[in-house]
Amino acid sequence: MLLLIKYTLLYGIVLMLVALGGMFSEHSGIINIALEGIMVIGGVAGVLTLTMLPSSMSPALVVLISILVAALAGVVYSLLLAFASINLKADQTIGGTALNLLATAIAVVIAKYFSDSGSAKLNYSNKAFLFSIGGLELSVFVPLGIVLLVISYIVLYKTRFGLRLRACGEHPQAADSVGINVYKMRYAGVLISGALGAIGGMAYIVPPVQTWNFEVGVAGAGFLAMAVMIFGQWKPFNICAAAMFFAVFKSLANIADSTFLAQFHWSSNIYNMMPFIASMIILAFTSKNSMAPKAEGIPYDKGSR
């Protein structure tokens, strides 16, 4: 049971962080389908930083620096999406898909360049990220995620920035007419999603293992996070709940062999399928009253008001 909680928390936090990222982007009016790619970029940047920092450095500093580098990489990478979809008014889905494909290629090229073996595997130590409370081994991403969740909520609903951001995703013409710079707000939304997505990518890769093959990317976690965001109705706390719900399925796959579930003799493939099937069923039921930002996916053109 403890193991189930552990895996659920670890994986749930990943989904939540990335989904929160997606939420910021969509509230500004940009569909960020590139989350998967942003996770990969964040992961490779964070892991690479880990391998390069001297082992004598204090763990806290290691954690801080590597996470900051990952977030920064995510921000830079998401600039590509922002530029294409805001300035050039490109189709956001196509631009995002391109960035997903590009991300894996970039990560593999970088990993191969830096790894000793010439393969896309990087080795690192994740000790600095782990701690345990009463036998429950957790990563720093759990408390970090909770803090970011609360901050996200406050920013979105209690600040001037949040009000303006949401206005841009709902009715950019209205925002523009009261002097809000829609382009700037949308950039902000996308870049925040870049930072959160990248931290999520690192949280996906680093805590469980000490070596990662970047050819596999993040195996659809970014896409699942989008489903989490929809299921969470673009609201921070709902997203958190949705993320934990999805994470339970994933965790079952990890612990299946060691618990009563083993008697079913289901393979990991079946457990892996579950969150995706669950998300489809939930989407089908919740689609009727969607709270999606109204203007998401539509490029804002100053001429068209």
Partner 1 sequence: MKNNKLSHRVLQSSITSVLAALLCIVIGMAVGFLVLLAINPAHAWGDGFVRILKGGFYDAPYGVGKMLANAAPLVMTGLSVGFAFKTGLFNIGAAGQYTLGAYGALYCAIMLKLPWFVCLLVAAILGGIWGAIPGFFKAYFNINEVITSIMFNWIGLYLVNELVYQNGTGPMYDVRNTRTLNLGKSADYAQSIIPDFGLNKLFQTNSTTIAIFLAAIVAVLIWVVLNKTTFGYELKAVGLNKSAARYAGINEKKNIILSMAIAGALSGFGAGLFYLSNVGQWNPLNSTSLPAMGFNGISVALLASSNPIGTIFSAIFISHISVGGTFLSTKYYPTEIADLISGIIIYLCAFSMLFRGKIQKMLFKNADKTNVNAEPAPAEKANAKKEGK
Partner 2 sequence: MAEDFVIEMLHITKEFPGIKANDDITLQLRKGEVHALLGENGAGKSTLMSVLFGLYQPEEGKILKNGKEVAIRNPNDANALGIGMVHQHFKLVECFSVLDNIILGVEPNKLGFLQKAEARKKVMALSEKYGLRVDPDALISDISVGMQQRVEILKMLYRDNEILIFDEPTAVLTPQEIDELMEIMRGFKKEGKSILFITHKLNEIMAVADRCTVLRKGKYMGTVDIKDTTKEELSRMMVGRDVQLQVDKKPAKPGKVVLDVENVTMQSPQHKKDAVRNVSFQVHAGEIVCLAGIEGNGQTEFIYGLTGLEKINGGKIMLDGKDITSESIRQRSKDGMSHIPEDRHKHGLVLDYSLENNIVLQRYWQPEFQKNGFIRSDKVREYSDRLIQQYDVRSGQGSSTIVRSMSGGNQQKAIIAREIDKDPTLLVAVQPTRGLDVGAIEYIHRQIVAERDKGKAVLLVSLELDEVMNLSDRILVMYEGEIVGEFDPKTTTVQELGLYMAGARKQGKGE
Footprint on this chain of partner 2 (rule: CB under 8 A)? 158-161, 163-164, 166-167, 170-171, 173-180, 291, 294, 305
- Check: CB of residue 25 under 8 Å from CB of residue 291: no
* Nearest in space to 29 (alpha carbons), one of 305, 299, 302, 304: 299
Binding status of residue 219 toward partner 1 by CB under 8 A: yes
Size of the site for partner 1 (CB under 8 A): 47
Residue 305 CA to residue 299 CA, distance in Å, equals 12
127 binds, among partner 1, partner 2, none (CB under 5 to 8 A by kind): none
Residue 179 CA to residue 233 CA, distance in Å, equals 28
CB of 171 to partner 2, least distance (A): 5
Residue with Cβ nearer partner 1 (88 or 178): 88
* Nearest in space to 250 (alpha carbons), one of 281, 274, 230: 274
Residue with Cβ nearer partner 1 (175 or 229): 229
267 binds, among partner 2, partner 1, none (CB under 5 to 8 A by kind): partner 1
Among residues 2, 163, 216, 262, the one that binds partner 1 under rule CB under 8 A: 216
DSSP per residue over 219-286, as a string?
TTHHHHHHHHHHHTTT-HHHHHHHHHHHHHHHHHHHHGGGSGGGGG---HHHHHHHHHHHHHHHHHHH
Binding status of residue 233 toward partner 1 by CB under 8 A: no
102 binds, among partner 2, partner 1, none (CB under 5 to 8 A by kind): partner 1
Q: CA angle at residue 201 from 48 to 266, to 5 degrees?
A: 120
Residue with Cβ nearer partner 2 (127 or 302): 302
Residue 196 CA to residue 228 CA, distance in Å, equals 15
- Neighbouring residues of 282: CB distance < 8 A, sequence distance ≥ 6: 227, 231
Pattern 64-103, partner 1, x by CB under 8 A: ----------------x---x---xxxx-xxx-xxx-xx-
User: Which positions touch partner 1 (CB under 8 A)?
Assistant: 33, 80, 84, 88-91, 93-95, 97-99, 101-102, 104-106, 108-109, 112-113, 118, 120, 215-217, 219-220, 223, 226-227, 230, 267-270, 272-273, 276-277, 279-280, 283-284, 287-288
